[in-house]
């Protein structure tokens, strides 16, 4: 009678991920740190094939407690076994389980390894220089358009709300940062964001087409939304490869963040649209971001490149607005009929160019 092969019990860290890549793995028992489903998910991510039955074709049994029957069968079949801590240590060593991911997966302590030393974000080395830059940015905006970006954004909201074919769901704006608050923000923000903070706090403006009005709890998913969270509670979060601070909150799946690299400072931060399941999209400075958004009426998901629903909403507005070929002086006159004074109307037309017609229904 042939003797079953002797199984290997691997309770030392395997060499890299070789123990898992391309292997048939059966997961059994109760786990102390991660839920079994999360362990299966991480193993799939590194190339394992998760088996639903333990058989002679199985290469490895990953086990927690209360897995005596599976371990006995593995021994009979000569299948290698590995306990939970050994698996976690291997995945950790390969960079698959940083602290941030363990926390997101609800990992229970104690962990079988030391926690990472928290990164310390470097602040702007010369906050006064950032303040001076922000003042220069606002002065340049006035030279270019006649008003600052914060003033232009307020004008845009006032005029767009007058369109007879839209219903405004929310229209609120908070006070700008005080001089003391601005000085406190200077080490933690880039100059292009400080320029906005000096004149505007949080701002929320959302709208839908009248025909699509459902209830006031709608966030603007059938129209548009801008939701600047303001800087009173500015918080930089250390991600795996960057620092992020929320700027324009759309919904949990997708929002716009200030972002900078770990070896940079907040002075280098630029805006990125972070949407679940998609690559981050770079959107530049606060000034370019708001100009781009206003040119598309801040329609739902305008930040996502080539998104069909956003394009359809813009097309619907365009079809009900003055032609893009309308002369600038006629656009300025139309904006004045909507409640702007001549200087405001001229500034808004300069800012948006041909796209200013989206403020004026045909």
Q: What is the pLDDT of residues 205-250, one digit of tens each?
A: 999 999 888 766 677 888 999 999 999 889 998 887 899 999 999 9
| DSSP one-letter code for 304 | S
The answer to whether the bond into 73 is cis (omega within 30° of 0) is no
Euclidean distance between CA atoms 109 and 312, whole angstroms: 49
pLDDT per residue as tens digits for the range 163-186: 999 999 999 999 999 999 999 999
> What is the pLDDT at residue 13?
45
Q: What are the residue ranges of helices labelled H in the chain?
A: 36-45, 68-77, 84-93, 99-104, 127-145, 149-160, 179-185, 191-197, 286-295, 308-319, 328-337, 342-352
Q: What whole-number distance in Å separates Cα of residue 356 and Cα of residue 344?
A: 13
Give the length of the chain. Answer: 362
Residue 9: the pLDDT is: 56
Tokens of 92: 């950790």
Per-residue pLDDT, averaged over 294-299, amounts to 98
Residue 157, SS3 per DSSP: helix
pLDDT at 1 over 50: no
d(CA 278, CA 114): 32
Q: How does pLDDT run across 151-162, given as a tens digit for each residue?
A: 999 999 999 999
C-alpha closest to that of 6 among 82, 77, 83, 86: 77
Q: Where are the domains of the chain?
A: 9-104, 127-359
CATH fold, domain 9-104, is Rossmann fold (3.40.50)
186 vs 123: CA distance, rounded Å: 9
- Burial class, 66, CB count within 10 angstroms (exposed 0-12 / middle 13-18 / buried 19+): exposed
The sign of the torsion formed by the CA atoms of 317, 323, 328, 333 equals: negative
Q: What is the pTM of this model?
A: 0.70
Dist CA 196 CA 208 (whole Å): 26
């Amino acid at each position: 009678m042939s003797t079953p092969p002797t199984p290997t019990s691997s309770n030392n860290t395997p060499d890299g991920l070789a123990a898992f890549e391309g292997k048939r793995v059966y997961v059994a028992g109760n786990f102390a740190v991660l839920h079994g489903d999360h362990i299966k998910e991480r193993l799939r991510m590194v190339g394992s094939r998760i088996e639903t039955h333990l058989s002679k074709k199985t290469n490895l049994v990953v086990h927690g407690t209360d897995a005596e029957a599976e371990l006995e069968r593995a021994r009979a079949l000569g299948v290698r076994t590995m306990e939970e801590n050994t698996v976690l240590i291997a995945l950790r060593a390969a960079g698959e389980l940083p602290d941030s991911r363990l926390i997101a997966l609800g990992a229970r302590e104690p962990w079988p390894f030391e926690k990472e030393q928290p990164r310390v974000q470097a602040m702007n080395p010369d906050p006064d220089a950032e303040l001076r830059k922000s003042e220069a940015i606002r002065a340049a905006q006035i030279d270019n358009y006649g008003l600052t970006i914060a003033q232009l954004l307020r004008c845009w909201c006032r005029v767009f709300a007058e369109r007879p074919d839209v219903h405004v769901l929310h229209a609120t704006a908070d006070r700008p940062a005080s001089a003391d608050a601005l000085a406190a923000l200077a080490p933690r923000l880039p100059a292009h964001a400080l320029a906005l903070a000096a004149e505007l706090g949080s701002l929320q403006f959302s709208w839908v087409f009248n025909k699509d009005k459902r209830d006031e709890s709608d966030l603007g998913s059938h129209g548009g939304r801008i939701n600047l969270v303001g800087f009173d509670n500015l918080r930089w979060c250390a991600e795996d490869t960057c620092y992020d601070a929320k700027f324009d909150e759309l919904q949990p799946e997708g929002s716009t963040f200030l972002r900078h690299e770990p070896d940079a400072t907040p002075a280098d931060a630029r805006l990125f649209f972070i949407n679940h399941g998609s690559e981050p999209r770079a959107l530049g400075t606060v000034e370019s971001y708001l100009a781009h958004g206003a040119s598309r009426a801040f329609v739902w998901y305008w930040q996502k490149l080539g998104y069909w629903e956003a394009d359809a909403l813009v097309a619907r507005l365009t079809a009900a607005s003055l032609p893009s070929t309308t002369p600038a002086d006629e656009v300025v006159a139309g904006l004045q009929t909507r409640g702007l004074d001549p200087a405001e109307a001229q500034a808004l037309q300069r800012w948006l160019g041909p796209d200013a017609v989206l403020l004026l229904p045909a």
